[in-house]
Amino acid sequence: MTTDKKNWKNEVLAYAMLVLGSALFAVGDVMFVNPYLMAPGGTYGLSNVFNTLWPWKISLYAICMDVPLLLVGTWILGPKFGFKTILSTALIFGFTFLLESVWGYNPVIFDGKIMPAPIEGLSMVQIPHDGGWFMPDYFLNTVVAGLIYGVAIGLIFRSGATSGGSDIISMILHKYTKISLGTLVMIVDGCITLSTLVAFGDIRLPIYSIIIIFIEGKVIDLVVDGMKSYKTMFIVTDEMEAVRDFILNDLKRGGTCLTGTGLYQGNERKMVYVTLDRADMVKLKSNLHRIDPKAFVNIMDSSEILGMGFKSLPKE
Protein backbone atom coordinates (compact mmCIF):
# COMPACT_ATOMS: atom_id res chain seq x y z
CA MET A 1 0.00 0.00 0.00
CA THR A 2 1.43 3.38 -1.03
CA THR A 3 1.94 6.07 1.57
CA ASP A 4 -0.61 8.41 -0.07
CA LYS A 5 -3.27 5.70 -0.14
CA LYS A 6 -2.59 4.77 3.47
CA ASN A 7 -2.78 8.42 4.56
CA TRP A 8 -6.05 8.83 2.65
CA LYS A 9 -7.58 5.82 4.41
CA ASN A 10 -6.37 7.06 7.80
CA GLU A 11 -7.93 10.48 7.14
CA VAL A 12 -11.27 8.92 6.13
CA LEU A 13 -11.18 6.80 9.29
CA ALA A 14 -10.42 9.90 11.39
CA TYR A 15 -13.42 11.76 10.02
CA ALA A 16 -15.63 8.70 10.50
CA MET A 17 -14.57 8.57 14.16
CA LEU A 18 -15.24 12.30 14.47
CA VAL A 19 -18.80 11.92 13.13
CA LEU A 20 -19.53 8.84 15.24
CA GLY A 21 -18.07 10.43 18.38
CA SER A 22 -20.11 13.60 17.88
CA ALA A 23 -23.31 11.59 17.39
CA LEU A 24 -22.65 9.50 20.50
CA PHE A 25 -21.98 12.64 22.54
CA ALA A 26 -25.41 13.98 21.55
CA VAL A 27 -27.03 10.67 22.52
CA GLY A 28 -25.34 10.67 25.92
CA ASP A 29 -26.29 14.26 26.66
CA VAL A 30 -29.90 14.34 25.44
CA MET A 31 -31.04 10.83 26.35
CA PHE A 32 -29.09 10.13 29.55
CA VAL A 33 -27.60 13.24 31.18
CA ASN A 34 -30.23 15.93 30.61
CA PRO A 35 -33.29 13.94 31.77
CA TYR A 36 -31.55 13.37 35.12
CA LEU A 37 -30.72 17.07 35.57
CA MET A 38 -26.97 16.36 35.66
CA ALA A 39 -24.13 18.51 34.35
CA PRO A 40 -20.79 16.67 34.01
CA GLY A 41 -18.78 19.71 32.98
CA GLY A 42 -18.41 21.51 29.67
CA THR A 43 -20.70 23.91 27.85
CA TYR A 44 -23.23 21.15 27.30
CA GLY A 45 -23.32 20.43 31.02
CA LEU A 46 -24.09 24.09 31.71
CA SER A 47 -26.62 24.06 28.86
CA ASN A 48 -28.46 21.19 30.58
CA VAL A 49 -28.94 23.37 33.66
CA PHE A 50 -30.12 26.33 31.57
CA ASN A 51 -32.45 24.08 29.57
CA THR A 52 -34.22 22.95 32.74
CA LEU A 53 -34.43 26.38 34.36
CA TRP A 54 -35.34 28.35 31.23
CA PRO A 55 -36.60 25.92 28.54
CA TRP A 56 -34.70 26.41 25.28
CA LYS A 57 -32.83 23.82 23.24
CA ILE A 58 -29.59 22.51 24.76
CA SER A 59 -27.86 22.83 21.40
CA LEU A 60 -28.76 26.51 21.08
CA TYR A 61 -27.48 27.32 24.56
CA ALA A 62 -24.25 25.42 23.84
CA ILE A 63 -23.54 26.95 20.43
CA CYS A 64 -24.11 30.42 21.90
CA MET A 65 -21.23 29.64 24.29
CA ASP A 66 -19.00 27.55 21.99
CA VAL A 67 -18.72 30.03 19.11
CA PRO A 68 -17.69 33.03 21.26
CA LEU A 69 -15.28 30.80 23.20
CA LEU A 70 -13.63 29.62 19.96
CA LEU A 71 -13.34 33.22 18.71
CA VAL A 72 -12.00 34.57 22.00
CA GLY A 73 -9.71 31.57 22.38
CA THR A 74 -8.28 32.11 18.89
CA TRP A 75 -7.79 35.82 19.60
CA ILE A 76 -6.03 35.30 22.96
CA LEU A 77 -4.29 31.95 22.45
CA GLY A 78 -3.66 32.05 18.71
CA PRO A 79 -4.86 29.58 16.05
CA LYS A 80 -4.73 26.47 18.24
CA PHE A 81 -8.12 25.18 17.20
CA GLY A 82 -7.93 23.31 13.89
CA PHE A 83 -10.60 22.51 11.35
CA LYS A 84 -11.54 19.24 13.05
CA THR A 85 -12.28 20.97 16.35
CA ILE A 86 -14.53 23.46 14.58
CA LEU A 87 -16.19 20.60 12.66
CA SER A 88 -16.68 18.66 15.90
CA THR A 89 -18.36 21.70 17.49
CA ALA A 90 -20.71 21.98 14.48
CA LEU A 91 -21.46 18.23 14.37
CA ILE A 92 -22.26 17.97 18.08
CA PHE A 93 -24.55 20.99 17.73
CA GLY A 94 -26.29 19.44 14.71
CA PHE A 95 -26.75 15.99 16.23
CA THR A 96 -27.94 17.43 19.55
CA PHE A 97 -30.43 19.77 17.83
CA LEU A 98 -31.77 16.90 15.72
CA LEU A 99 -32.06 14.49 18.63
CA GLU A 100 -33.78 16.89 21.00
CA SER A 101 -36.16 17.91 18.19
CA VAL A 102 -37.09 14.30 17.33
CA TRP A 103 -36.64 12.47 20.66
CA GLY A 104 -37.28 15.30 23.08
CA TYR A 105 -35.80 14.93 26.55
CA ASN A 106 -37.25 11.54 27.43
CA PRO A 107 -35.02 9.29 29.58
CA VAL A 108 -33.96 5.90 28.25
CA ILE A 109 -33.31 4.37 31.69
CA PHE A 110 -35.85 4.85 34.48
CA ASP A 111 -37.66 2.83 37.13
CA GLY A 112 -41.33 2.77 36.18
CA LYS A 113 -43.32 4.59 33.56
CA ILE A 114 -43.30 8.25 32.64
CA MET A 115 -46.36 9.58 34.41
CA PRO A 116 -48.51 12.60 33.55
CA ALA A 117 -48.48 13.87 37.14
CA PRO A 118 -46.77 13.00 40.45
CA ILE A 119 -48.43 10.28 42.49
CA GLU A 120 -49.15 11.54 45.97
CA GLY A 121 -47.46 9.56 48.71
CA LEU A 122 -44.91 7.90 46.37
CA SER A 123 -41.78 7.08 48.34
CA MET A 124 -39.34 7.34 45.42
CA VAL A 125 -38.12 10.74 44.32
CA GLN A 126 -39.57 11.78 40.98
CA ILE A 127 -38.00 14.06 38.39
CA PRO A 128 -40.21 16.61 36.61
CA HIS A 129 -40.07 16.18 32.87
CA ASP A 130 -41.46 17.75 29.72
CA GLY A 131 -43.52 14.59 29.18
CA GLY A 132 -44.60 14.24 32.82
CA TRP A 133 -42.71 12.66 35.72
CA PHE A 134 -40.53 9.58 36.01
CA MET A 135 -38.89 7.60 38.79
CA PRO A 136 -35.11 7.71 38.28
CA ASP A 137 -32.59 4.88 38.32
CA TYR A 138 -29.62 7.12 39.08
CA PHE A 139 -26.84 4.54 39.32
CA LEU A 140 -27.47 2.58 36.12
CA ASN A 141 -28.10 5.76 34.15
CA THR A 142 -24.87 7.30 35.49
CA VAL A 143 -22.78 4.28 34.48
CA VAL A 144 -24.25 4.15 30.98
CA ALA A 145 -23.91 7.92 30.52
CA GLY A 146 -20.24 7.78 31.57
CA LEU A 147 -19.55 4.94 29.13
CA ILE A 148 -21.24 6.74 26.23
CA TYR A 149 -19.52 10.05 26.99
CA GLY A 150 -16.15 8.29 27.30
CA VAL A 151 -16.44 6.46 23.97
CA ALA A 152 -17.73 9.64 22.28
CA ILE A 153 -14.96 11.96 23.48
CA GLY A 154 -12.34 9.23 23.03
CA LEU A 155 -13.30 8.89 19.36
CA ILE A 156 -13.21 12.67 18.93
CA PHE A 157 -9.71 12.76 20.44
CA ARG A 158 -8.62 9.82 18.25
CA SER A 159 -9.77 11.74 15.18
CA GLY A 160 -7.37 14.57 15.99
CA ALA A 161 -9.95 17.06 17.27
CA THR A 162 -10.09 18.60 20.74
CA SER A 163 -13.04 19.17 23.01
CA GLY A 164 -12.92 23.01 22.94
CA GLY A 165 -15.87 24.42 24.90
CA SER A 166 -15.17 25.19 28.54
CA ASP A 167 -11.59 23.90 28.15
CA ILE A 168 -10.83 27.15 26.33
CA ILE A 169 -11.67 29.05 29.53
CA SER A 170 -9.12 26.90 31.36
CA MET A 171 -6.50 27.57 28.66
CA ILE A 172 -7.04 31.34 28.89
CA LEU A 173 -6.85 31.31 32.70
CA HIS A 174 -3.72 29.15 32.48
CA LYS A 175 -2.03 31.79 30.28
CA TYR A 176 -2.54 34.55 32.82
CA THR A 177 -2.47 32.72 36.17
CA LYS A 178 0.17 30.03 35.46
CA ILE A 179 -1.94 27.57 37.46
CA SER A 180 -1.63 24.09 35.93
CA LEU A 181 -4.07 23.40 33.11
CA GLY A 182 -5.28 20.19 34.74
CA THR A 183 -6.13 22.04 37.94
CA LEU A 184 -7.99 24.76 36.05
CA VAL A 185 -9.99 22.20 34.04
CA MET A 186 -11.09 20.57 37.29
CA ILE A 187 -12.02 23.96 38.78
CA VAL A 188 -14.07 25.05 35.75
CA ASP A 189 -15.84 21.70 35.33
CA GLY A 190 -16.32 21.48 39.11
CA CYS A 191 -18.12 24.83 39.13
CA ILE A 192 -20.36 23.65 36.28
CA THR A 193 -21.08 20.40 38.11
CA LEU A 194 -21.91 22.22 41.35
CA SER A 195 -24.35 24.45 39.48
CA THR A 196 -26.84 21.56 39.63
CA LEU A 197 -26.80 21.75 43.43
CA VAL A 198 -27.41 25.51 43.34
CA ALA A 199 -30.12 25.24 40.69
CA PHE A 200 -32.00 22.17 41.92
CA GLY A 201 -30.96 21.77 45.56
CA ASP A 202 -30.25 18.03 45.27
CA ILE A 203 -26.83 16.89 46.55
CA ARG A 204 -27.04 13.69 44.52
CA LEU A 205 -26.85 15.54 41.20
CA PRO A 206 -23.25 16.85 41.48
CA ILE A 207 -22.14 13.55 43.02
CA TYR A 208 -23.51 11.51 40.13
CA SER A 209 -22.12 14.07 37.67
CA ILE A 210 -18.66 13.58 39.16
CA ILE A 211 -19.05 9.80 38.83
CA ILE A 212 -19.88 10.32 35.14
CA ILE A 213 -16.70 12.38 34.73
CA PHE A 214 -14.64 9.64 36.44
CA ILE A 215 -16.04 6.83 34.27
CA GLU A 216 -15.74 9.02 31.19
CA GLY A 217 -12.04 9.65 31.88
CA LYS A 218 -11.25 5.95 32.25
CA VAL A 219 -13.09 5.06 29.04
CA ILE A 220 -11.37 7.90 27.13
CA ASP A 221 -8.00 6.40 28.13
CA LEU A 222 -9.11 2.99 26.84
CA VAL A 223 -10.36 4.39 23.54
CA VAL A 224 -7.32 6.61 22.95
CA ASP A 225 -4.56 4.32 24.26
CA GLY A 226 -6.20 0.91 23.81
CA MET A 227 -6.45 -2.04 26.17
CA LYS A 228 -2.75 -2.84 25.97
CA SER A 229 -0.94 -2.26 29.25
CA TYR A 230 2.82 -1.73 29.22
CA LYS A 231 5.36 -1.86 32.03
CA THR A 232 8.77 -0.22 32.09
CA MET A 233 11.42 -2.07 34.10
CA PHE A 234 14.76 -0.77 35.39
CA ILE A 235 16.92 -3.73 36.43
CA VAL A 236 20.22 -3.21 38.26
CA THR A 237 22.12 -6.48 37.98
CA ASP A 238 25.56 -8.06 38.11
CA GLU A 239 24.40 -10.72 35.63
CA MET A 240 23.95 -8.41 32.67
CA GLU A 241 24.67 -10.99 29.96
CA ALA A 242 22.20 -13.54 31.38
CA VAL A 243 19.43 -10.92 31.72
CA ARG A 244 20.20 -9.60 28.23
CA ASP A 245 20.08 -13.12 26.77
CA PHE A 246 16.68 -13.85 28.36
CA ILE A 247 15.14 -10.60 27.08
CA LEU A 248 16.50 -11.06 23.54
CA ASN A 249 16.04 -14.80 23.05
CA ASP A 250 13.17 -15.81 25.33
CA LEU A 251 11.01 -12.68 25.20
CA LYS A 252 12.10 -11.59 21.70
CA ARG A 253 12.24 -7.98 22.87
CA GLY A 254 14.86 -5.23 22.87
CA GLY A 255 16.06 -2.87 25.55
CA THR A 256 18.86 -0.53 26.56
CA CYS A 257 21.92 -1.27 28.71
CA LEU A 258 23.06 1.58 30.97
CA THR A 259 26.04 2.03 33.23
CA GLY A 260 25.70 3.73 36.61
CA THR A 261 27.50 4.17 39.90
CA GLY A 262 26.16 2.89 43.22
CA LEU A 263 25.70 5.60 45.87
CA TYR A 264 26.77 3.47 48.85
CA GLN A 265 30.05 1.92 47.70
CA GLY A 266 30.62 3.90 44.51
CA ASN A 267 30.99 0.73 42.43
CA GLU A 268 30.07 0.69 38.76
CA ARG A 269 26.75 -1.11 38.16
CA LYS A 270 25.00 -2.26 35.01
CA MET A 271 21.31 -1.46 34.48
CA VAL A 272 18.79 -2.67 31.91
CA TYR A 273 15.97 -0.41 30.71
CA VAL A 274 13.20 -2.38 29.01
CA THR A 275 9.52 -1.86 28.22
CA LEU A 276 7.26 -4.91 27.98
CA ASP A 277 3.61 -5.83 27.89
CA ARG A 278 2.12 -7.25 31.07
CA ALA A 279 2.61 -10.92 30.09
CA ASP A 280 6.31 -10.53 29.23
CA MET A 281 6.87 -8.45 32.37
CA VAL A 282 5.54 -11.33 34.49
CA LYS A 283 7.83 -13.81 32.68
CA LEU A 284 10.91 -11.65 33.20
CA LYS A 285 10.09 -10.91 36.83
CA SER A 286 9.54 -14.59 37.63
CA ASN A 287 12.86 -15.58 36.03
CA LEU A 288 14.98 -12.85 37.59
CA HIS A 289 15.31 -14.75 40.88
CA ARG A 290 16.88 -17.62 38.96
CA ILE A 291 19.13 -15.36 36.87
CA ASP A 292 20.24 -12.92 39.59
CA PRO A 293 18.72 -13.24 43.08
CA LYS A 294 20.42 -9.97 44.11
CA ALA A 295 19.00 -7.90 41.25
CA PHE A 296 17.26 -4.61 42.07
CA VAL A 297 14.10 -4.01 40.02
CA ASN A 298 11.88 -0.95 39.61
CA ILE A 299 8.63 -1.49 37.67
CA MET A 300 6.50 1.43 36.45
CA ASP A 301 3.27 1.75 34.48
CA SER A 302 3.70 3.21 30.99
CA SER A 303 0.60 4.87 29.58
CA GLU A 304 1.93 5.21 26.05
CA ILE A 305 4.96 3.79 24.22
CA LEU A 306 6.06 5.19 20.87
CA GLY A 307 8.79 3.92 18.59
CA MET A 308 10.10 0.71 17.04
CA GLY A 309 8.17 -2.37 18.16
CA PHE A 310 5.31 -0.30 19.60
CA LYS A 311 3.04 2.45 18.30
CA SER A 312 4.43 4.53 15.45
CA LEU A 313 5.63 8.04 16.21
CA PRO A 314 3.10 10.68 15.11
CA LYS A 315 3.94 12.45 11.87
CA GLU A 316 2.61 15.81 13.08
76-86: per-residue pLDDT in tens? Answer: 877 766 788 88
| Residue 277 clears pLDDT 90, i.e. is over it | no
- List the beta bridge partners of residue 141: none
Contacts of 279 (CB under 8 A, 6+ apart): none
| Residue 311 clears pLDDT 70, i.e. is over it | no
pLDDT at 85: 83
The CATH class given to the 230-302 domain equals alpha beta
Task: Give the model confidence (pLDDT) of 165-224 as tens digits.
Answer: 777 787 778 778 877 766 777 788 888 899 988 888 888 889 999 999 889 888 887 887
Q: What pTM was estimated for this model as a whole?
A: 0.75
Render the burial of 114-124: b for 16+ CB within 10 Å, e for the rest. beeeeeeeeee
Contacts of 232 (CB under 8 A, 6+ apart): 273, 274, 275, 299, 300, 301, 302
Report residue 310's pLDDT band, with 50, 70 and 90 as the boundaries: low
pLDDT at 125: 56
Asked whether the beta carbons of 47 and 62 are under 8 A apart, the reply is: yes
Task: Give the model confidence (pLDDT) of 100-148 as tens digits.
Answer: 999 988 888 888 777 665 545 444 456 766 666 788 889 999 999 999 9
Whole-number Å distance between alpha carbons of 130 and 204: 21
Report residue 92's pLDDT band, with 50, 70 and 90 as the boundaries: very high
Asked whether the beta carbons of 191 and 206 are under 8 A apart, the reply is: no
Report residue 27's pLDDT band, with 50, 70 and 90 as the boundaries: very high
pLDDT at 312: 62
pLDDT at 58: 93
Task: Give the model confidence (pLDDT) of 218-250 as tens digits.
Answer: 888 788 766 667 788 898 888 888 988 988 888
Cite the residue boundaries of each domain of the chain with CATH code 3.30.70.120: 230-302
Mean pLDDT of the region 257-270: 80
Whole-number Å distance between alpha carbons of 190 and 69: 18
Asked whether the beta carbons of 81 and 73 are under 8 A apart, the reply is: yes
- Mean pLDDT of the residues in the chain: 82
Lowest-pLDDT range of 2-6, 90-94, 171-175? 2-6
Question: In percent, how much of the chain has pLDDT > 70?
Answer: 84
pLDDT at 171: 77
Whole-number Å distance between alpha carbons of 69 and 164: 8
pLDDT at 139: 92
Alpha carbon distances (Å) from 268 to 119, 229, 279, 314? 79, 33, 31, 37
DSSP string, 149-174: HHHHHHHHHHTT----TTHHHHHHHH
